[in-house]
């Protein structure tokens, strides 16, 4: 396998690959390994999505969020009341 210039492999690869590559990289074992990797990634991604959803639900249900929403509502009401008293609010 000759390389014409630095990094130029175009048209230089042998097909079919030489016999040593079959011994170095047995196709059946590579396919089994790739299948296992795909299953692992799929399983892992499912767990990430599930955990993220649970965390989002837990945050939404937390007392801190409820209290923050209550305080924001109260602040908005106070701003509207103050603006009406000063005469900046629409009638």
Q: Are 45 and 54 in contact (CB under 8 A)?
A: no
Q: In which residue ranges of the chain is pLDDT below 50?
A: 1-4
pLDDT at 72: 93
pTM > 0.85: yes or no: no
Judge contact between 14 and 3, C-beta under 8 A.
no
**pLDDT over 90, % of the chain:** 7
Read off the pLDDT of residues 59-74 as tens digits, 9 standing for 90 and up: 777 888 788 889 999 9
Q: Is the CB of residue 59 less than 8 Å from the CB of residue 69? A: no
Report pLDDT for 73: 93
């Amino acid at each position: 396998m000759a390389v014409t210039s630095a990094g130029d492999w175009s048209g230089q690869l042998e097909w079919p690959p030489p016999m040593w590559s079959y011994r170095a990289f047995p196709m059946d074992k590579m396919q089994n390994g790739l299948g296992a990797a795909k299953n692992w990634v799929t399983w892992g991604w499912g767990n990430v999505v599930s955990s993220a959803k649970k965390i989002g639900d837990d945050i939404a249900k937390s007392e801190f969020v409820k209290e923050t929403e209550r305080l924001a509502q109260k602040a908005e009401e106070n701003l509207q009341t103050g603006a009406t008293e000063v005469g900046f609010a629409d009638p």
